[in-house]
């Protein structure tokens, strides 16, 4: 997307100056009749997990589909409309970069236009003569989604030290987004955009199904090798790695939030071989699925 973001408040900074705070982090679903128009004091990263939304940001209209993350800046009016049926599923994280905003309720984040607090708008860091974030939207790879889910988990549980955990995870997410915005120079041929979005959505929803590269290529009606290239250009990761990351993220969620047996979880997320699932899980997490479950319950 072309860069046309503006920021009410900017501040020269170094990487070491970044001390972000999370003010709100949730996953949520909204139906088409739900719309909101507002300004916020902090920043929000909004990821569309499923469905499509329309965002008017500072007078520019953007259609944001599944697999895409959008940055909503402090002080810039945004309007969001759900255009997919029956709903859209999203992940949202409100934050600042310097621990500026002391937010304990929604009213501390959302601007009351009758009494706006002009000095409360959070600051965008300027590092190496440019804003830290220059993107409007980016395709978010599964590694970024895993970080967002981990932040939401910490924020929701609010166990001892959750603020530290959220800060560390958020800094990791910042690093990923900075790299992505630098690498995201490739322009995909518009002929394949709609079909690629459908494929991404299918992998998001149907990760437990049996997938082959042939089935994936059928979404675009191209050769498997060319499909892989187009997908990687669009999402920054191969379709097989994207699928496996979705399965891994789903497995971690089930391990944290259910008492299902590990073998059953492996089948639920698309692995027929429990030994293969166990090996892949340990490679990704440097611990077994059993150890991960115990660790997440501490």
Length in residues, the chain: 298
Residues 115-138, mean pLDDT to the nearest whole number = 91
CB neighbours of 115 closer than 8 A, spacing ≥ 6? none
Nearest to 145 by CA among 257, 65, 249, 24: 249
Cα 92 from Cα 36, distance rounded (Å): 14
pLDDT value at residue 184: 64
Peptide bond into 86 cis (omega under 30): yes
CB neighbours of 153 closer than 8 A, spacing ≥ 6? 256
Backbone Cα Rg of the chain: 20
Domain boundaries, the chain: 10-183, 190-296
Q: Give the residue carrying structure tokens 């978010």.
A: 140
**Which of the four pLDDT bands, split at 50, 70 and 90, describes residue 17?**
very high
- Residue 126: what are its φ and ψ, rounded to 5°? -105, 115
Domain 190-296 is found in CATH 3.30.360.10: no
pLDDT value at residue 60: 87
Look over the chain and give the mean of its residue pLDDT values, rounded to a whole number: 89
Q: Which of 75-84, 161-170, 178-187, 289-298 has the lowest mean pLDDT?
A: 178-187
Domain 10-183 is found in CATH 3.90.1150.10: no
pLDDT value at residue 189: 66
Which residues are 26's β-sheet partners? 92
Element (H, E) at 127: strand 124-127
pLDDT value at residue 2: 38
**Which of the four pLDDT bands, split at 50, 70 and 90, describes residue 186?**
low
**Which of the four pLDDT bands, split at 50, 70 and 90, describes residue 4?**
very low
Residues 91-99, mean pLDDT to the nearest whole number = 96
- Residue 168: what are its φ and ψ, rounded to 5°? -65, -45
With a cut of 90, say whether residue 142 has pLDDT above it: no
Which residues are 62's β-sheet partners? 55
With a cut of 60, say whether residue 3 has pLDDT above it: no
Tens of pLDDT, residue by residue over 29-45, are 898 888 889 999 999 99
Provide the percentage of residues in the chain whose pLDDT is more than 70.
96
Between the ranges 66-70, 87-91, 95-99, 176-180, where is the mean pLDDT highest? Answer: 95-99
Element (H, E) at 217: helix 213-220
Residues 200 and 216 sit within 8 Å (Cβ to Cβ): no
**Which of the four pLDDT bands, split at 50, 70 and 90, describes residue 289?**
very high
Nearest to 239 by CA among 252, 257, 220, 253: 220
The pTM (predicted TM-score) of the whole model is 0.70
Residues 159 and 166 sit within 8 Å (Cβ to Cβ): no
pLDDT value at residue 188: 59
* β-bridge pairing 10-12 and 124-127: parallel
Burial of 181 (0-12, 13-18, 19+ CB in 10 A): middle
CB neighbours of 30 closer than 8 A, spacing ≥ 6? 82, 87, 88, 90
Give the number of other CB atoms < 10 A from CB of residue 60.
Answer: 12
**Which of the four pLDDT bands, split at 50, 70 and 90, describes residue 185?**
low
Residues 65-94, mean pLDDT to the nearest whole number = 91
Between the ranges 131-140, 186-195, 200-209, 270-279, where is the mean pLDDT highest? Answer: 270-279
**Which of the four pLDDT bands, split at 50, 70 and 90, describes residue 54?**
very high
**Which of the four pLDDT bands, split at 50, 70 and 90, describes residue 99?**
very high
pLDDT value at residue 260: 93
């Amino acid at each position: 997307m072309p860069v046309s973001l503006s920021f009410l408040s900017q501040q020269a900074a170094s990487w070491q100056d970044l001390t972000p705070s999370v003010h709100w982090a949730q996953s949520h679903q909204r139906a088409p009749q739900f719309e909101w128009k507002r300004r916020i004091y902090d920043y929000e990263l909004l990821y569309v997990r499923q469905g499509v939304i329309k965002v008017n940001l500072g007078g520019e209209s953007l259609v944001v589909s599944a697999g895409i993350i959008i940055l909503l800046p402090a002080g810039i009016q945004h309007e969001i409309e759900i255009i997919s049926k029956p709903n859209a599923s999203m992940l949202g994280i409100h934050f600042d970069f310097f621990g500026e905003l002391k937010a304990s309720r929604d009213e501390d984040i959302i601007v009351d236009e009758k009494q706006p607090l002009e000095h409360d708008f959070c600051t965008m860091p300027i590092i190496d003569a440019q804003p830290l974030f220059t993107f409007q939207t980016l395709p978010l790879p599964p590694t970024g989604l895993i970080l967002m889910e981990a932040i939401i988990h910490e924020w929701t549980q609010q166990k001892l030290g959750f603020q530290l955990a959220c800060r560390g995870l958020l800094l990791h997410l910042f690093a990923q987004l900075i790299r992505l915005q630098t690498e995201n120079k490739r322009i995909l041929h518009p002929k394949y955009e709609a079909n690629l979005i459908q494929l991404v959505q299918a992998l998001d929803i149907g990760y437990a199904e049996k997938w082959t590269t042939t089935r994936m290529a059928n979404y675009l009606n191209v050769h498997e090798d060319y499909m892989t290239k187009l997908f990687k250009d669009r999402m920054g990761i191969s379709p097989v790695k994207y699928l496996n990351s979705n399965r891994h993220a789903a497995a971690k969620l089930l391990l944290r939030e259910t008492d299902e047996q590990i073998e059953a979880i492996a089948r639920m997320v698309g692995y027929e071989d429990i030994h293969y699932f166990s090996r892949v899980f340990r490679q990704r997490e440097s611990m077994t699925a059993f150890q991960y479950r115990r660790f997440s319950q501490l």
